Chains A and B, each alone.
Chain A
Amino acid sequence: MKKIKEVFKFKPNKKEEILEEESLEEILAKMSEKKRKGKVLSLEMISKIDKREARRRKIDNAIRLTIATVVAAMFAFLFLMPIVLTITNSFMGSAEIASNYGTVFATNANGGKVYISEKVNLKFIPDIVSFSQYSTVLFKSPQYLLKFWNSVVLVGPIVLFQLIVATLASYGFARYTGKIRAIIFFAYVILMLMPYQVTLVPNYLVVDYLNNFFKIKDTYWAIWLPGIFSPFAVYLLTKFMKRIPQSMIEAAQIDGAGEWQIYRKICMPLCKGAICSAAILVFIDYWNMVEQPLILLADAEKHPLSVFLSKINSGEVGLAFAVATIYMVPPLLVFLYGEEYLVDGITYQGGVKG
Chain B
Amino acid sequence: MKINKKWFAGGLALLLALGLTACSNAKQDDGDGKNGGAAVDELAPEFTYVAKYATIPQDFETNNLTFGGKVAYSVHYSGYDYFDYYAEGDEDSAEEPMTFSPSRNFLKYQLNGGNIEGGEVFASIPNGVDVNSACADDAGNLYYVGAIRPETPGEDATDADWERYYNDADQKTEYHLIKLDAQGNQVYDLDFTEMTRTLDYFYVSRMAVDAQGRVYLASSDSKVLLFGADGYYAGIAETDQQSWISNMGTAKDGKVYASYTRYDANSSSMVLAEIDFDGKKLGKTYQNFPNAYGNASMVKGLEQDILISDDSALYEYSLEKEETTKVLTWLDCDIDGNAVNNIVTADGKYYVLLRDWNMDATEFAELEKMKTEDVVKREKIVVGTIYQDSSLSEEIIKFNKSNEQYRITLKTYLDENNWTETSYQDAITALTNDILAGTGPDILELSTLDIDNLASKGVLDDLSPYLEKSSKLNKSDFHDSVLKAGTKNGKLVSLSAGFSLSTIVGKTSVVGSKQGWTVADLIKLQKAYPNSELLEYETKEGILQAILMLNKTHFLDTANHTCNFDNQEFKDLLAFANIFPKEYDYDAPRRLTPYLLKDNSLLLATIYLSDFDSVQGELAYFDGEPYTMVGYPTYDGGNGCVLNLRDQYGINAKSQHKEAAWAFLEEMISRDPMESKYSYYGFSSIKKYYEAQKKDALEVQYVYDENGEVLKDENGEPVIEQRYGGYTMMGDDGEEWSYEYKPITKADVDLVDQLLAGATPIDYNVNQELNQIIMEEAGSYFDGSKSLDEVVSVIQNRVNLYMKENQ
**Cβ-based interface call for A152 (8 A):** yes
Contact A295 B415 (CB under 8 A): no
**Cβ-based interface call for A235 (8 A):** no
Q: Of all chain B residues, which has the CB nearest A310? A: B422
Within 8 A of B (CB), among A297-354: 298, 300-301, 311, 313, 315-316, 318-319, 329-330, 333-334, 336-337, 339-340
Q: Report how far A113 CA is from B778 CA in the complex, Å.
A: 11
Stretch of B8-16, B132-140, B216-224 at the chain-chain interface: B8-16
Chain B residues contacting A294 (CB-CB under 8 Å) are 426, 429
B28 to nearest A CB, angstroms?
9
Q: Of all chain A residues, which has the CB nearest B421? A: A313
Contact A141 B783 (CB under 8 A): no
Chain B residues contacting A136 (CB-CB under 8 Å) are 264-266
Contact B785 A117 (CB under 8 A): yes
Chain A residues contacting B266 (CB-CB under 8 Å) are 136, 140-141, 315-316, 318-319
Contact A333 B776 (CB under 8 A): no
Chain A residues contacting B18 (CB-CB under 8 Å) are 145
Within 8 A of A (CB), among B265-290: 265-267
Contact A301 B421 (CB under 8 A): no
Per-residue contact bits, chain A 204-241, to B (CB 8 Å; 1 contact, 0 not): 11001000000000000000000000000000000000
**Cβ-based interface call for B469 (8 A):** no
Contact B31 A111 (CB under 8 A): no
**Cβ-based interface call for A161 (8 A):** no
B326 to nearest A CB, angstroms?
15
Contact A298 B430 (CB under 8 A): yes
Chain A residues contacting B424 (CB-CB under 8 Å) are 111
Contact B265 A140 (CB under 8 A): yes
Q: Report how far A259 CA is from B265 CA in the complex, Å.
A: 59
Contact A145 B22 (CB under 8 A): yes
Q: Report how far A294 CA is from B428 CA in the complex, Å.
A: 12
Q: Report how far A205 CA is from B5 CA in the complex, Å.
A: 44
Chain A residues contacting B1 (CB-CB under 8 Å) are 336, 339-340
Chain A residues contacting B34 (CB-CB under 8 Å) are 301
Q: Of all chain A residues, which has the CB nearest B15? A: A329
Contact A300 B19 (CB under 8 A): no
Contact B26 A142 (CB under 8 A): yes
Contact B776 A143 (CB under 8 A): no
Q: Of all chain A residues, which has the CB nearest B13? A: A333
Q: Report how far A201 CA is from B421 CA in the complex, Å.
A: 23
Per-residue contact bits, chain A 184-205, to B (CB 8 Å; 1 contact, 0 not): 0000000000000000010011
Q: Report how far A337 CA is from B264 CA in the complex, Å.
A: 37
**Cβ-based interface call for B99 (8 A):** no
Contact A143 B31 (CB under 8 A): yes
Contact A311 B422 (CB under 8 A): yes
Chain A residues contacting B433 (CB-CB under 8 Å) are 201, 204, 295
Contact A152 B26 (CB under 8 A): no
Contact B439 A208 (CB under 8 A): yes
Chain A residues contacting B423 (CB-CB under 8 Å) are 300
A145-B26, A152-B19, A208-B437 given; A112·B31 CB < 8 A: no
Contact A146 B22 (CB under 8 A): yes
B409 to nearest A CB, angstroms?
17
Chain B residues contacting A318 (CB-CB under 8 Å) are 266
Out of A117, A148, A300, A337, name the residue touching B5 (CB < 8 Å).
A337
Q: Report how far A136 CA is from B15 CA in the complex, Å.
A: 17
Q: Of all chain B residues, which has the CB nearest A111? A: B772
A149-B20, A208-B437, A316-B266 given; A333·B31 CB < 8 A: no
A112-B771, A205-B437, A208-B437 given; A142·B19 CB < 8 A: no
Within 8 A of A (CB), among B395-421: 415, 418, 420-421
Contact A117 B772 (CB under 8 A): no
Contact A333 B15 (CB under 8 A): yes
Chain A residues contacting B358 (CB-CB under 8 Å) are none
Q: Report how far A148 CA is from B16 CA in the complex, Å.
A: 10
Within 8 A of A (CB), among B1-53: 1, 4-5, 8-9, 11-12, 15-16, 18-20, 22-23, 25-27, 29, 31, 34
Q: Report how far A114 CA is from B423 CA in the complex, Å.
A: 19
Contact A115 B22 (CB under 8 A): no
Contact A107 B265 (CB under 8 A): no
A113 to nearest B CB, angstroms?
5
Out of A107, A143, A295, A319, name the residue touching B421 (CB < 8 Å).
A107
Chain B residues contacting A115 (CB-CB under 8 Å) are 776-777, 779-780, 782-783
Contact B420 A148 (CB under 8 A): no
Q: Of all chain B residues, which has the CB nearest A330? A: B15
Chain A residues contacting B771 (CB-CB under 8 Å) are 110, 112
Interface SS of B by simple majority: helix
A117-B779, A140-B265 given; A300·B420 CB < 8 A: yes
Per-residue contact bits, chain A 104-130, to B (CB 8 Å; 1 contact, 0 not): 000110111111010000000000000
Q: How large is the interface on B (under 10, 10 to 19, 20 to 34, 35 or more residues)?
A: 35 or more
Q: Of all chain B residues, which has the CB nearest A340? A: B1
Q: Report how far A131 CA is from B424 CA in the complex, Å.
A: 33
**Cβ-based interface call for A289 (8 A):** no
Chain A residues contacting B436 (CB-CB under 8 Å) are 201, 204-205
Q: Report how far A76 CA is from B19 CA in the complex, Å.
A: 31
Q: Report how far A311 CA is from B419 CA in the complex, Å.
A: 13
Chain A residues contacting B16 (CB-CB under 8 Å) are 152
**Cβ-based interface call for A169 (8 A):** no
Chain B residues contacting A111 (CB-CB under 8 Å) are 421, 424-425, 768, 772
**Cβ-based interface call for A281 (8 A):** no
Contact A149 B267 (CB under 8 A): no
A141-B264, A149-B23 given; A110·B775 CB < 8 A: yes
**Cβ-based interface call for A138 (8 A):** yes
Within 8 A of B (CB), among A271-304: 294-295, 298, 300-301
Contact A333 B437 (CB under 8 A): no
Within 8 A of B (CB), among A143-183: 143, 145-146, 148-149, 152
Q: Report how far A111 CA is from B422 CA in the complex, Å.
A: 8
Q: Report how far A138 CA is from B264 CA in the complex, Å.
A: 12
Contact A110 B772 (CB under 8 A): yes
B217 to nearest A CB, angstroms?
32
Within 8 A of A (CB), among B716-772: 768-769, 771-772
Chain A residues contacting B703 (CB-CB under 8 Å) are none
**Cβ-based interface call for B773 (8 A):** yes
Out of B19, B27, B783, name the residue touching A117 (CB < 8 Å).
B783
Q: Report how far A114 CA is from B772 CA in the complex, Å.
A: 9
Chain B residues contacting A145 (CB-CB under 8 Å) are 18-19, 22-23, 25-26
A141-B264, A148-B22, A337-B5 given; A110·B768 CB < 8 A: yes
B417 to nearest A CB, angstroms?
9
Q: Report how far A205 CA is from B461 CA in the complex, Å.
A: 23
Q: Report how far A132 CA is from B769 CA in the complex, Å.
A: 38
Chain B residues contacting A132 (CB-CB under 8 Å) are 265
Contact B772 A142 (CB under 8 A): no
Chain A residues contacting B426 (CB-CB under 8 Å) are 294, 300
Chain A residues contacting B779 (CB-CB under 8 Å) are 114-115, 117
Which residues of B pack against A, CB within 8 Å? 1, 4-5, 8-9, 11-12, 15-16, 18-20, 22-23, 25-27, 29, 31, 34, 264-267, 415, 418, 420-426, 429-430, 433, 436-437, 439, 768-769, 771-773, 775-777, 779-780, 782-783, 785
**Given A112-B776, A208-B439, 18 other A-B residues pairs in contact with their CB atoms under 8 A:** A108-B772, A108-B775, A111-B425, A111-B772, A113-B776, A114-B776, A117-B785, A136-B265, A140-B265, A140-B266, A141-B264, A141-B265, A141-B267, A145-B23, A149-B20, A298-B430, A300-B426, A329-B11
6 A-B pairs within 8 Å (CB atoms) are namely A111-B425, A112-B769, A112-B773, A140-B267, A143-B26, A146-B23
Which 10 interchain pairs have the tightest Cβ spacing? A112-B772, A115-B779, A145-B22, A142-B26, A146-B26, A149-B23, A143-B31, A313-B421, A333-B12, A140-B264
